[in-house]
A and B are shown apart, each in its own frame.
Chain A
Amino acid sequence: MTTNILENIDLRTLGELLQQARKKCSMTQADAAKIIDAARTTVIAIEKGERRIRPNELIKLARAYGRSVSDFVRPRPVVQPFEVQFRAVYQRSQEQQAEIEPFISKLEELCQNYLELEKIMEAPLPQNYPLEYQVTNMPIKSTAESIAVAERQRLGLGDAPISELRDILEQDVGLRIFYLQMPQKYSEVYGYNEEVGGCMAINSNHPEERRRWSMAHGYLHFLAHRQKPEFHFDCQYQRFPESEQLAETFSKYFLMPTSGLLKRFNDIHRTNSKFTPTNLFTLAHYYGVSVEALSYRLEEMELLPSGTWDKLRDRGLKVRKVQEELGLEQIPQRIDIMPLHYQHLAIEALDQGLITEGRFAEFLHVDRLESRRIAEALREYSSGMREEDTDFDLRQIQTAGK
């Protein structure tokens, strides 16, 4: 006889989960009571963990909340609700709260899924976190450059362009970076807590140059204001606070380090005896930044006259058109919603029979058919090997061969 899970589950946790789910779909306790044909006080007691829920009540509530029953009963890592951390952000811009909340809630859910996959596969995400940089009362420009140089050195990036920033931050630092579709004005969400570590949601609707800038921006928040969540959007401030100035300045130095940029500019200038708009476009593409950002950076370094970008823009420069004419291919990018490590954990769990196909699809936030297509692609990515072929220790081959 199977044990009844509802007799053994932690009632308070289950109650909290039910309450969160009810609130997320804007239902009242009275609404929930109607669904299970009970008094409101019964729902209150269930949500407080004071009354054991019956199987058919749980099934009815899960259906009404648009959730799986398994969301409530399977063992999942407990994550402190992001809502608590982001309260300060909401307070700063209350009118935005309704619009922002769904993205924060989605980021929280994705992070929780990530932790669950790590637990299933017994493979925690390796974290290579530096100590938090102390920036209080420090001059912004030199502090930003100093952190950028230190981080480049720590990550072995030298002063070269960073081609795949997302992969580096995900795999070499251990941040959880998701690409979410958000309205144009939003760029990036950064959050941190003890269970999850550092995580970000980047607006996948933006061009890659901007996404990279947003990632660098969020990375500074992780490096210097780790515990402070952030939701970055256009026209957010009338006057930029120092933390934001630092993040913007850091992005500039991190993506376009002075020494490397100076060297490359000089090489081009020496070879051609001039620095043309074509050179500007090519160099921006090489660094994976916008032409505008590079122009301002070169102006600031006194390599181009002040006002160069403004003049180009006033002449009606069409950046995308010129990029197409110059045949500048898209800069390397991976626009999947999920981090690569997350996807690999999910496919390994599926192929080892540790999760069902339905759960795999849920982890990837797609329907079953799309999940099968992704599974095929992921298996091909793993050197064309499949299932049991990929689940062995390569080091054992040498031992067995001896």
Chain B
Amino acid sequence: MQITHSHILLDACCVINFCASGQFLAILKSLPAEIVVTTVVQERELKTLQRLQEEENDALLVEFDEAIQQGLLKVVDFESEDEEESFVNYAVDLDDGESATCAIAVHRKWAIATDDDKAIKFLQKKFLHVQILSTPEIIKHWSEKQSIDSLVLSNVLNAIRIKGHYVPPKNDPLRNWWQKSSE
């Protein structure tokens, strides 16, 4: 996985998946870029993480907060009228979280980590220069870079499947890798 941008903006799908993995901090540390999330996503998804934490009795929210405190995850808001205008324009097609992520990424030339089919189609159609990363790509990158034991990796993928209710879609090039590594 080559990252051609200085920053990676995580959308809500990826935040939930990484939190569900139980390895949020480790995954962020493995990425060779600044990791960022928008205020809109943070505000909207805190409740989801809180519920996930209550259900699973895991320190998911704590990890999320810790990532911010340690400076591994930065929270950003709109910095210019152009970003705000783009956000409002994208909200015609996307939900607010995806719109904010796309608007900031497009204007600051950052990469986006998203698994959202609609957001991916939107970006591919309008902003070919924006690099799009996915949960499987980032998890694979982390596992290879940190030489993660296959049992640990399998547990992480299964945690994302069970707690985060996520598996890569059929057309994802890493689906086979994901399935084999989950066994």
Contact = CB atoms under 8 A, between A and B. Distances in A.
B51 to A, nearest CB: 6
A375 B167 CA distance: 12
**Which among B85, B95, B165 has the greatest number of chain A C-beta atoms within 10 A?**
B95
Contacts of A376: 165
Nearest to B84: A55
**Which among A2, A6, A387 has the greatest number of chain B C-beta atoms within 10 A?**
A2
Contact of B89 (A4, A351, A358, A388): A4
A369 to B, nearest CB: 5
A367 B117 CA distance: 18
Interface in A349-385: 350-351, 353-359, 362, 367-370, 372-373, 375-376
B88 A55 contact: yes
A68 to B, nearest CB: 5
A168 B48 CA distance: 35
A68 B98 contact: no
A interface: dominant SS: helix
A353 B96 contact: no
Contacts of B88: 4-6, 55, 58-59, 69, 73
Contacts of B96: 68-70, 358
A341 interface: no
Nearest to B43: A63
A3 B89 contact: yes
Nearest to A349: B118
A353 B117 contact: yes
B16 interface: yes
Contact of A70 (B47, B95, B126): B95
A2 B103 CA distance: 12
B171 A5 contact: no
Interface in A5-26: 5-6
A73 B90 CA distance: 9
**Which among B78, B99, B171 has the greatest number of chain A C-beta atoms within 10 A?**
B99
Interface string A215-233: 0000000000000000000
Given A356-B119, A357-B13, A388-B170, A69 B91 contact: yes
Interface in B134-183: 164-166, 169-171
Contacts of A358: 12, 44, 94-98, 116
Interface residues of A, number: 36
B93 interface: yes
Interface string A338-355: 000000000000110111
Nearest to B50: A367
A306 B150 CA distance: 74
A372 B165 CA distance: 6
B87 interface: yes
**Which among B84, B86, B91 has the greatest number of chain A C-beta atoms within 10 A?**
B91
B132 interface: no
A56 interface: yes
B85 A4 contact: yes
Nearest to B94: A356
A236 to B, nearest CB: 37
B166 A372 contact: yes
B179 to A, nearest CB: 14
A332 interface: no
Nearest to B163: A369
A297 interface: no
Interface in A68-101: 68-70, 73-75
Contacts of A152: none
Contact of B91 (A56, A73, A368, A369): A73
Nearest to B115: A357
A48 interface: no
Nearest to B86: A2
A74 B93 contact: yes
B91 A68 contact: yes
Contact of B52 (A69, A354, A362, A369): A369
A40 interface: no
Contacts of A372: 164-166
Contact of B164 (A6, A75, A369): A369
A206 interface: no
Contacts of B170: 386-388
A70 B87 CA distance: 9
Given A5-B89, A70-B95, A388-B171, 16 more contacts: A55-B81, A70-B91, A74-B91, A74-B92, A351-B117, A353-B118, A354-B118, A356-B116, A358-B95, A359-B94, A367-B48, A368-B48, A369-B48, A369-B164, A370-B51, A376-B165
Interface of A: 2-6, 55-56, 58-59, 68-70, 73-75, 350-351, 353-359, 362, 367-370, 372-373, 375-376, 386-388
17 contacts: A5-B89, A59-B78, A69-B96, A70-B92, A70-B95, A354-B118, A357-B12, A358-B94, A359-B94, A359-B95, A368-B12, A368-B16, A369-B16, A369-B165, A372-B165, A372-B166, A386-B169
9 closest residue pairs by CB, A with B: A358-B95, A372-B165, A353-B117, A70-B91, A55-B84, A367-B48, A55-B88, A356-B118, A68-B96
